[in-house]
Amino acid sequence: MPLRDTELTEDGLSPSGVGRVLLIACGALAREILDLKAANGWTHLDLTCLPAKYHLTPDKITEGVRESVAKHRAAYEQIFVVYADCGTGGQLQAACDDLGVEMIPGPHCYSFFEGNARFAQHSETEITAFYLTDFLVRQFDAFVIKPMGLDRHPELRDMYFGNYEKLVYQAQTDDPDLTRKAEACAAMLGLSFERRFTGYGDLATTLERL
Partner 1 sequence: MSDEDEIILSELDDEELVQQMFDDLYDGLKEEIEEGVNILLERGWQPYDILTKALVGGMTIVGYDFRDGILFVPEVLLAANAMKGGMAILKPLLAETGAPRVGKMVIGTVKGDIHDIGKNLVGMMMEGAGFEVVDLGINNAVEKYMEALETEAPDILGMSALLTTTMPYMKVVIDTMVEQGVRDDYIVLVGGAPLNEEFGKAIGADAYCRDAAVAVETAKEWVGRKHNQKTA
Tell which positions 151-190 bind partner 1, by CB under 8 A. 152-153, 156, 159-160, 163-164
Whole-number Å distance between alpha carbons of 95 and 90: 9
Distance, in Å, from the CA atom of 106 to the CA atom of 119, rounded to the nearest integer, reads 10
Candidates 9, 88, 139, 170: give the one binding partner 1 (CB under 8 A): 88
Instruction: Please say which residue, 162 or 176, places its beta carbon nearer to partner 1.
Output: 162
Using CB under 8 A as the binding rule, whether residue 41 contacts partner 1 is answered as: no
Pick from 104, 94, 48: which is nearest to 71 by CA?
Answer: 48
Question: End-to-end alpha-carbon separation of the chain, Å?
Answer: 26
Cα angle 33, 37, 38; round to 5: 120
- Please report how close the Cβ of residue 90 comes to partner 1 at its closest, in angstroms: 7
Which of 9, 56, 7, 14 lies closest to 28, judged by CA? 9
Q: How many residues bind partner 1 (CB under 8 A)?
A: 24
Which of 17/190 has CB closer to partner 1?
Answer: 190
DSSP string, 155-179: GGHHHHHTT--EEEEEESS--HHHH
- Residue 193 within binding range of partner 1, rule CB under 8 A: no
Handedness of CA 190, 125, 138, 102 (dihedral sign): negative
Residues 55-84 that bind partner 1 (CB under 8 A): 58
* 102-103 and 129-132 beta bridge pairing: unpaired
- Which region among 65-73, 149-157, 191-199, 200-208 touches partner 1 (by CB under 8 A)? 149-157
Cβ proximity to partner 1: between 38 and 159 the closer is 159
Question: What is the contact mask toward partner 1 in residues 127 to 146, using x (rule: CB under 8 A)?
Answer: xx------------------
Q: Considering the rule CB under 8 A, would residue 91 count as an interface residue with partner 1? A: yes
Binding site for partner 1 (CB under 8 A): 58, 85, 87-91, 107-108, 123-124, 127-128, 147-150, 152-153, 156, 159-160, 163-164
